[in-house]
């Protein structure tokens, strides 16, 4: 019997280390014949910590929201041949996983990311062996072309085309680079893949390198991902020991090795020329294209850059055929896509679904619907470079062109869900604040334009908006979109443009009626107590941090508006719905 603890970053944050330590102690002290194992995140972050009990016959029981105290009950039940029903995963939660099509995530939460043997048992490194022994580089590129695999880092550019361009570029020295610098709010897809299945990324890079004629690879991963770096480092070392990295791989003339570069965490380094600048020790700032990295990239040598998810798909495609991957999705968007479901969603975590699914099906199917059963309002797709899609467009297909038609983008896979309590003006302000701070400053349109937009949005959320602000925001957004140097600058206004398009009434309410209908902008809300509903329980009085509430026991209380800091604590603790927000 084996006890496996999910130790992705989400699991560890939820207490997986404590669960693992307690299990180890209990097993050791009681001399129980159970092996302790580790795996990465399976995607159901909302159920962490997760523990699997795998029996000798292969039967598996999954336990969720496990505490150190629960481990004793679980182990004792399993030893006696029973299931610990208190912590066993529900049938509904099982369906969350079963409803997905997992290719990039095929091994995440299934194998031990620190043991290359488990990856090999799942067919790992068979794809690169097939390439080296049976396929010419041109044939590998053709398989990727047939698959329709597009870059999963945001732009959605055909992977085969980039590989082919690098292959045909002049020069013997070529670099294969992996972009693992996901820096957008609510995005953690690449981190989870590296933490859960680093060897799939290594093998994908090996295949790309073979196709392009490259002998050196670099993974540019943000330094804020320490666990991912540790597991990837370990995987690289084990791959070298096995001969999958190094000289004359599988006895061929193909040689390839790789290393890790820990980046400082600048959002702009998601743009490939800025990433290359950072790799070279320079400040991460984009450059004009052409020349493209395929012609002149890292150290002026031909270079190819794909993100983690793109490379993770490649071994599966080579092993199963490009046609099988292309059979999933839509004519314009093939295969599957990994999304990080965050925000006001019940089942927050990582999901992988075929392209062409409806937004509604992801949110209400895999995601389980809106938290606390509130009303779905919008979803931000594509991160800071994306846009807000309103609830009335939730039948939109997840397809590069269909999403672009709404004003959003596929992006790297962030999906931030919003409910009726979300202020769309403040949401736009949040994303512009992020892009403003992350601007590299190279071009004035992005550097100054986003700053001016942020000032206007901040003023509006404070109730100081004025006539003409909406038109000025639109003008600035369009100027930045058409004039910024890089793709990140050009897409920075998207959150503002889409909220203006679909939620213009909220901007008008803020400016002309001095009202935030979502009750989120503190300067525009007022708290009061309904004397008829108030029972004088004193909970609001006791919890008010500003001492703004007065009243006697069993008598209606009053909020002094001049003292109220509008923290909302009174409304949170009130059991009689007596606190009103206007």
Cα 436 to Cα 105, 177, 268, 510, distances in angstroms: 33, 27, 11, 22
Q: Which CATH number fits domain 424-512: 1.10.3720.10, 1.20.1440.230, 2.60.120.330, 3.40.50.970?
A: 1.20.1440.230
Backbone Cα Rg of the chain = 26
Tokens matching residue 259: 């290393």
pLDDT value at position 383? 85
SS3 per residue for 33-82 = CCEEEEECCCCCHHHCCCEEEECCCCCEEEECCCCHHHHHHHHHHHHCCC
Q: Rounded to whole angstroms, how far apart are CA atoms 339 and 256?
A: 31
Tokens matching residue 23: 């299990």
Q: What angle do CA 157, 161, 167 make, to 5 degrees?
A: 135
pLDDT at 470 over 80: yes
pLDDT value at position 346? 96
pLDDT value at position 491? 92
Q: Which CATH number fits domain 336-419: 3.40.50.2300, 3.90.1150.10, 3.30.565.10, 3.10.20.600?
A: 3.10.20.600
DSSP-based three-state secondary structure for 120:
helix
SS3 per residue for 170-205 = CCCCCEEEEEECCCCCCCCHHHHHHHHCHHHHHHHH
Q: What count of residues does the chain have?
A: 582
Tokens matching residue 13: 């944050």
Query: Where residue 265 falls among pLDDT bands split at 50, 70, 90?
Result: confident
Q: Does residue 576 contact residue 534 with C-beta atoms inside 8 Å?
A: yes
CATH superfamily placement of domain 2-94: Glutaredoxin (3.40.30.10)
pLDDT value at position 195? 97
DSSP-based three-state secondary structure for 242:
helix
Tokens matching residue 157: 């550019």
Q: Does residue 428 contact residue 499 with C-beta atoms inside 8 Å?
A: yes
pLDDT value at position 241? 98
**pLDDT tens digits for 537-549?**
999 999 999 999 9
For residue 99, the number of C-alpha atoms closer than 13 Å in the C-beta half-sphere is: 19
Can you tell me the mean pLDDT for 133-161? 94
Q: Rounded to whole angstroms, how far apart are CA atoms 338 and 370?
A: 20
pLDDT value at position 86? 95
Q: Rounded to whole angstroms, how far apart are CA atoms 186 and 340?
A: 7
Q: What angle do CA 187, 190, 194 make, to 5 degrees?
A: 140
Backbone φ and ψ of 227, nearest 5° = -65, -40
Tokens matching residue 195: 């933490």
Residue with tokens 């071994």: 315
Tokens matching residue 444: 């004035």
Sheet holding 303-307, edge to edge: 257-263, 216-222, 175-180, 303-307
**pLDDT tens digits for 294-323?**
999 999 999 999 999 999 999 999 999 999
Query: Within 80-147, where are the H helices?
Result: 91-98, 116-121, 126-134, 137-147
Q: Which CATH number fits domain 526-581: 3.30.360.10, 1.10.3080.10, 3.30.70.20, 3.90.1150.10?
A: 3.30.70.20
Cα 100 to Cα 352, 353, 361, 487, 549, distances in angstroms: 6, 5, 11, 31, 50
**pLDDT tens digits for 517-561?**
999 998 899 999 999 999 999 999 999 999 999 999 999 999 999
Residues 6+ apart with CB under 8 A from 340: 186, 187, 188, 189, 349, 350, 413, 414, 415
pLDDT at 138 over 80: yes
Bridge partners, residue 397, by sequence: 358
pLDDT value at position 42? 96
Can you tell me the mean pLDDT for 416-431? 96
- Fold match flag (336-419 vs 424-512): no
Residue with tokens 């965050």: 342
Give the single-character DSSP code of 90.
Answer: P
Q: What angle do CA 95, 57, 27 make, to 5 degrees?
A: 90
Burial annotation 478-515 (CB, 10 A radius, 16+ → b, else e)? eebbeebbbbbbbbbbbbbbbbbebbeebbebbbeeeb
Q: Which of 391, 396, 460, 461 is nearest to 419 (CA)?
A: 391
Can you tell me the mean pLDDT for 14-42? 95
For residue 532, the number of C-alpha atoms closer than 13 Å in the C-beta half-sphere is: 0
**pLDDT tens digits for 173-227?**
999 999 999 878 888 899 999 999 999 999 999 999 999 999 999 999 999 999 9
Q: Rounded to whole angstroms, how far apart are CA atoms 80 and 73?
A: 11
Domain boundary assignment for the chain? 2-94, 116-326, 336-419, 424-512, 526-581
Q: What angle do CA 179, 183, 188 make, to 5 degrees?
A: 85
Mean pLDDT of the chain: 95
Tokens matching residue 561: 């508006």
Determine the CATH number of domain 116-326.
3.40.50.11540
Backbone φ and ψ of 37, nearest 5° = -125, 175
**pLDDT tens digits for 356-379?**
999 999 999 999 999 999 999 999
Tokens matching residue 296: 């002149």
Entry pTM: 0.93
Q: Give strand ranges (E) for 348-477.
A: 349-354, 376-381, 387-390, 414-419
**Strand 336-343 relative to strand 414-419, pairing:** parallel
């Amino acid at each position: 019997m084996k006890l496996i603890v999910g130790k992705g970053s989400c699991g560890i944050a939820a207490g997986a280390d404590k669960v693992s330590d307690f299990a180890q102690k209990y097993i050791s002290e009681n001399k129980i014949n159970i092996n302790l194992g580790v795996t990465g995140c399976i995607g159901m972050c909302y159920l962490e910590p997760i523990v699997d009990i795998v029996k000798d016959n292969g039967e598996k029981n999954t336990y969720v929201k496990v505490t150190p105290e629960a481990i004793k009950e679980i182990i004792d039940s399993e030893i006696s041949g029973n299931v610990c029903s208190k912590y066993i995963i529900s049938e509904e939660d099982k369906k969350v996983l079963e409803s997905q099509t997992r290719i990039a995530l095929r091994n995440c939460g299934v194998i031990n990311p620190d043991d290359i043997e488990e990856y090999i048992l799942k067919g790992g490194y068979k794809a690169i062996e097939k390439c080296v022994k049976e396929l010419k580089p041109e044939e590998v590129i053709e398989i990727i072309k047939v698959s329709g695999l597009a870059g999963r880092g945001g732009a959605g550019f055909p992977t085969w085309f980039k590989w082919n361009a690098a292959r045909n570029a002049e020069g013997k020295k070529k670099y294969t680079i992996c972009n693992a610098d996901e820096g957008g709010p609510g995005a953690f897809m690449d981190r989870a893949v590296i933490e859960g299945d680093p060897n799939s990324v290594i093998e994908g890079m090996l295949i790309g390198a073979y196709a392009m004629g490259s002998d050196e690879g670099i993974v540019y991963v943000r330094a804020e991902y320490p666990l991912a770096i540790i597991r990837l480092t370990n995987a690289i070392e084990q791959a070298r020991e096995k001969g999958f990295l190094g000289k004359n791989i599988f006895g061929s003339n193909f040689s390839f090795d790789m290393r890790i570069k820990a980046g400082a965490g600048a959002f702009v380094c998601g743009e490939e020329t800025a990433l290359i600048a950072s790799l070279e020790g320079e400040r991460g700032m984009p450059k004009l294209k052409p020349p493209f990295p395929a012609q002149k990239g890292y150290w002026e040598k031909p270079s190819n850059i794909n993100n983690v998810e793109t490379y993770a798909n490649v071994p599966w495609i080579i092993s199963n055929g490009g046609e099988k991957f292309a059979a999933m999705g839509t004519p314009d968007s093939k295969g599957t896509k990994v999304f990080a479901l965050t925000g006001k969603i019940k089942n927050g975590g990582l999901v992988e679904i075929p392209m062409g699914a409806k937004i509604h099906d992801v949110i209400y199917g895999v995601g389980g619907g809106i938290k606390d059963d509130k009303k779905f309002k919008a979803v931000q797709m594509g991160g800071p470079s994306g846009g807000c899609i309103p609830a009335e467009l939730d039948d939109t297909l997840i397809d590069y062109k269909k999403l672009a038609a709404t004003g959003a983008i596929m992006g790297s896979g962030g999906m931030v869900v919003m409910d009726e309590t979300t202020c769309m003006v403040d949401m736009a302000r949040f994303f512009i604040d992020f892009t403003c701070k992350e601007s590299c400053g190279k071009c004035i349109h992005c550097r100054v334009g986003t700053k001016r937009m942020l000032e206007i949005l901040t003023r509006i959320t404070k109730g100081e908006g004025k006539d003409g602000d909406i038109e000025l925001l639109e003008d600035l957004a369009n100027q930045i979109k058409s004039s910024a140097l890089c793709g990140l600058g050009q897409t920075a206004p998207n959150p503002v443009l889409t909220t203006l398009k679909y939620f213009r009434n909220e901007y008008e309410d803020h400016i002309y009626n001095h009202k935030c209908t979502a009750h989120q902008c503190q300067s525009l809300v007022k708290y009061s107590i309904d004397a008829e509903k108030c029972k004088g329980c004193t909970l609001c009085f006791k919890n008010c941090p500003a001492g703004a509430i007065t009243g006697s026991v069993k008598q209606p209380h009053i909020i002094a508006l001049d003292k109220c800091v509008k923290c909302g604590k009174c409304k949170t603790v009130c059991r009689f719905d007596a606190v009103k927000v206007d």
